Amino acid sequence: MGNGVREGQVDFKGQDVEPTASAHLPAEGIQEQKKVLNSLMSGALAGAVAKTAVAPLDRTKIMFQVSSKRFSAKEAYRLIYRTYLNEGFWSLWRGNSATMVRVIPYAAIQFCAHEEYKQLLGSYYGFQGKALTPFPRFIAGSLAGTTAAMLTYPLDMVRARMAVTPKEMYSNIVHVFIRISREEGLKTLYRGFTPTILGVIPYAGLSFFTYETLKKLHADHSGKSQPSPPERLLFGACAGLIGQSASYPLDVVRRRMQTAGVMGHTYSSILLTMQEIIREEGLIRGLYKGLSMNWVKGPIAVGISFTTFDLTQILLRKLQHSANVER
């Protein structure tokens, strides 16, 4: 009898432990899936809101970047006004549908990848659950930007073409893909890819690094764990200003190479493109053309993007927590 009771107790305990352990593993997997999904959704919304807000300025900047005209705030205003008079108000957002097709997956992948790279680097350097030190912080941002750019580059090419051509040339996004493939070859869809990646590394690295650093400094000095929405906007604006200023010449080179087929130029490499721009337009006026507009557009867009991502993440976590409590 005594042995029977003890055996029964052992059997009971063994049965009790197994379901707990097996139930625990799927729960962790579900939590990780929810976290990734939240990052993708928040990133997609952040990119869409930010780019739509600055679309007219972005289109104007691209039109100056791909031409040999001198840039000034006055000329930029005239171009926006002429476009409005000749083509209508909504023409200022021409190419924005192509931008959304690119930006939504790009931002979703970039923000989600950044969260994952932060976690991986945190484990590697022993900072799990804590803020990364400066170098890993920069690497996480650079890797996130590079991953997103590699996966969505042809969409960026299409967006640039739509921004600088009249409506008659390309009727929609699919038409751009078909015409480029037929007339210039599939390789054209990746023209300007190298300067893009070279530009993304400092841009994304410095943007995420600056934003995360400012949030950490704020937490250390204010005693508050989270900054307010206006503070997030300000931190994001600083991040955008620093990131875009560092990578801007490569952005000009990328746009020239992307639109060469429709602008009557042939650019075979980054260095030759830079040389031609400098020879025809000068170092500052050529490679930094439109930078002052980017100092207006960039901080607004990046500030909105980071703030939207953070606030959407917080909202989704609260909704999930409320749903779990109700259960």
Helices H / strands E in the chain, number of each = 12, 0
What are the residues whose beta carbons fall under 8 Å from the beta carbon of 63, sequence distance 6 or more? 79, 163, 164
CB atoms within 10 A of CB 281: 18
DSSP string, 193-238: HHHHHHHHHHHHHHHHHHHHHHHHHHHHHH--SS--HHHHHHHHHH
Q: Could you tell me the residue ranges of all domains in the chain?
A: 69-185, 191-289, 292-321
Kindly provide the b/e burial profile for residues 115-124, where b requires at least 16 CB atoms within 10 angstroms of the residue's own CB: bbbbbebbee
CB atoms within 10 A of CB 311: 15
Tell the burial category of 131 from Cβ atoms under 10 Å away from its Cβ (0-12, 13-18, 19+): middle
What are the residues whose beta carbons fall under 8 Å from the beta carbon of 272, sequence distance 6 or more? none
Evaluate the CA torsion angle 164, 167, 171, 172 in order and state its sign. Answer: positive
* Predicted confidence band of residue 261 (pLDDT cuts 50, 70, 90): low
Nearest CA-CA partner of 140 in 198, 204, 218, 226: 204
Q: Does domain 69-185 have CATH number 1.50.40.10?
A: yes
pLDDT at residue 250 is higher than 80: yes
262 or 30: which leads in pLDDT: 30
* Predicted confidence band of residue 6 (pLDDT cuts 50, 70, 90): very low
CA distance 279 to 286: 9
> What is the percent of the chain with per-residue pLDDT over 90, rounded to a whole number?
34
Cα 20 vs. chain centroid, distance in angstroms? 41
* Predicted confidence band of residue 1 (pLDDT cuts 50, 70, 90): very low
* Predicted confidence band of residue 232 (pLDDT cuts 50, 70, 90): very high
Nearest CA-CA partner of 92 in 127, 122, 64, 55: 55
Nearest CA-CA partner of 214 in 137, 143, 289: 137
106 and 148 in contact (C-beta within 8 Å)?
yes
* Prediction pTM value: 0.75
pLDDT tens digits for range 44-53: 999 999 999 8
DSSP string, 56-110: HHHHHHHHHHTS-SPP-HHHHHHHHHHHHHHH-GGGGGTTHHHHHHHHHHHHHHH
